[in-house]
Chain A
Amino acid sequence: MATNSGGIGRRLLGDARASRMFPVQAFHSMGEGLFAVSLVGSLFFNVSVDAARPRILLYLAITMAPFAVLAPLIGPVIDKFKGGHRAILILSIGGRAAMALLLATQLKTLLLYPQAFVMVVLAKVYGVARNALVPSLVDDRDHLVVVNSHLARVGAVAGVIAAVGGIGILELGGAGWVLRAGAVCYGLGAIAASRLPPHRAPDAITGSPVVEATEMHGPGVLAATKGMAGIRMATGFTVFHVGFTLKSAGEPSLLIGSVVGMTALGGFAGTFVAPRLRRRWDPQLMITASLLLVALVASVAALRFHASTALALGAALGLAGSVGRRAFDGVVQVEAPHTQRGQAFAGLETRLEVAWVIGALIAVIARAPDWLGLLLLTTGLGLLSADRLIGRWTASHLPLASTRVAVPLRLLETAEAVAAQGDRQQAVLVALAAADALATIEALPTDEIASLRRRAIEASASNNQEVEDQLIREVHELVIQAVK
């Protein structure tokens, strides 16, 4: 049982294993901040958007290609290879260090485009790998949301500090030196990644692909994923739409940088707002509220696009992204309590990153006037929010018990279907996951769960089908009792 000091320590720093991600995240975010500042001195602001658009489109599209290939590999590398998680992080962060050094001398050449987009791809690989890895570093799954909040805060603060320093370097030495400083930060991040603790291998239940598939494709997780994808798509769209609009309006690059800064500030604020909201609202409602917030601010910006509304939109996107992310983690924590394999999270994160790219592509292809693009954004997010609210209203008419036990019920159904197919060993694992999930809701005696586990292991070892069938029937009774 954790002592009080352990509880305080966990509250401040998170789990001991997971806290080793903090320097990795900090250095990576510092590199990100410096990279963003260096773009002020790049070719992006010298050439016309119309002339650059085909190239931007090409490289955005190409961003998806390596990502489509790389992202499905991240999870298996994390899961199957000892130190695989470290390797992925070191490669992605170290790769950014190398690219930053290369880019430092080519900011005013056409090679800026492919190199900048390689940086984007590596950033997304890092994001997928990090989010796939964190659940396995957390000692207690209940702390997943806390740990992710800490990581977000560390990243936001580090990024802002680095960006401010980067502006000073830009004035004194130019954009090339900003990138070199960024390369140093990335390099330190790669070193910190090499010191991450070993990845915890999943046990029989958490390593079961059937349990994982059942939990990760439940309606709650799918709805949360759809909502988060909406937020990510809105972010990708807004980055390019607002960036192009501000440039066309002759606004100084400082304003564009300030919008980025407001996004980071909004994200930082979200790490404090989210826990307070969580006390009043369930996570799905938090995601819907995040979508509605961005839709509302975008509608105001559509009526009057100005520096102030652009900054407000940046802040809203940051806040929505942060609150939505905390809520999303909460949904996964509750509805996929046994999912731990990197592969599952890598798949989720890939979909979210692709949503960002699609949003960016839409903005670049459409090249709509400021008010029209923002109106489209408002409409899209409004429709998604309405869909979610209608689904919520429909679900609210279901008996309370059946929604509470939805996860164990779904796992039980899968267990019985798998058993009917003849794979009793896997069916028992899934049934145990159902009992485990039920135990957290119904406060089943831990010794009852322990007894089920022990008998399952014995039955599996002796390949005793009668005992396995009996176990599944017992779990069936437990779940049905809970439904009534």
Chain B
Amino acid sequence: MRGVDTLVRTPSQDRSTARHWGLTVFMVLVTACSSQPKPETTDRDASAYAAVIDALLQGSPLDQEDPDRLPVIYVEAFAQEGISLTVQVQLVTAYADTYQLRFVDDRGEALLVDLEKQPVRSSSALIGLGPILGENELSIRGERYVDQDTIEAYRFSLADGGNQTWILTPTPIDPEGFARAP
């Protein structure tokens, strides 16, 4: 239509599409630029963390209020950078038949904060995992929180036992992870 565009102000389809694409490309660049761990690292990390979680839960079975529901294990990462999404997913999948693993950003998700001593929610456990240190022999801080006065803390040394298994040597230490404010 000759001249109509100059007579009737119409938002340009091209300008609108360009805005969408511009915003999309910007967001994709921003989010995709975050570094992703290599697959072999995530496998190693997941198996190491699983070994620590098993060790912390061993000997202290959870009370299951509802036998039809899996017990919930809350996991808090002590490291600033947290535990990568890929490792979290691998751990959730690994425990899918035995526990409901839930990773938390805020300790309050796992605790009954209105009660004295702030115990863990019923039928649940709260595990804290530190960053993985070392290359051949790994070192991980692991803590289990029961309430404000009852925290078990260990420094786990993990030696490669072959076939993605680990030989763990726990050393009791002072609780630091859960002793710090969330």
Contact = CB atoms under 8 A, between A and B. Distances in A.
A51 B24 contact: no
Given A51-B82, A65-B20, A46 B100 contact: yes
A49 interface: yes
Interface in B23-37: 23-24, 26-28, 30-32, 34
A77 interface: no
A417 interface: yes
A161 interface: no
A481 B88 CA distance: 73
A375 B29 CA distance: 30
B24 A421 contact: no
Interface string A230-248: 0000000000000000011
B122 to A, nearest CB: 12
A58 B28 contact: yes
Nearest to A347: B13
Interface stretch (A210-218, A269-277, A323-331, A396-404): A210-218
A58 B32 contact: yes
B109 A217 contact: no
A52 B31 CA distance: 11
Contact of B103 (A47, A58, A69, A423): A47
Given A50-B105, A58-B31, A62-B24, A108 B93 contact: yes
B2 A214 contact: no
B101 interface: yes
A26 B48 CA distance: 49
A177 interface: no
Contacts of A58: 27-28, 31-32
B110 A62 contact: no
Given A46-B103, A47-B103, A58-B27, A417 B20 contact: no
Contacts of B93: 108-109
Contacts of A249: 106, 108-109
Contacts of A247: 109
B138 interface: no
Given A72-B17, A109-B89, A210-B4, A48 B103 contact: yes
Which residue of B10, B82, B96 has the most chain A CB atoms within 10 A of its CB atom? Answer: B10
Contacts of B21: 65, 68
A48 B82 contact: yes
A482 interface: no
B13 A72 contact: yes
B62 interface: no
Nearest to A112: B89
Given A213-B10, A249-B108, A110 B24 contact: no
A250 B121 contact: yes
Contacts of A61: 23-24, 26-28, 31
Contacts of B121: 250
B8 A414 contact: yes
B84 interface: yes
Interface of B: 1-4, 7-11, 13, 16-17, 20-21, 23-24, 26-28, 30-32, 34, 77, 82-86, 88-89, 92-93, 96, 100-106, 108-111, 121
11 contacts: A43-B89, A43-B92, A48-B83, A58-B28, A68-B17, A109-B89, A209-B4, A210-B8, A354-B20, A418-B1, A426-B1
Interface of A: 43, 45-52, 54-55, 57-58, 60-62, 64-65, 67-69, 72, 108-110, 209-210, 213-214, 217, 247-250, 347, 351, 354, 361, 414, 417-418, 421-423, 426
Given A45-B102, A426-B1, A426-B4, 10 more contacts: A43-B89, A47-B89, A54-B85, A68-B21, A68-B24, A209-B1, A249-B108, A250-B108, A421-B7, A423-B3
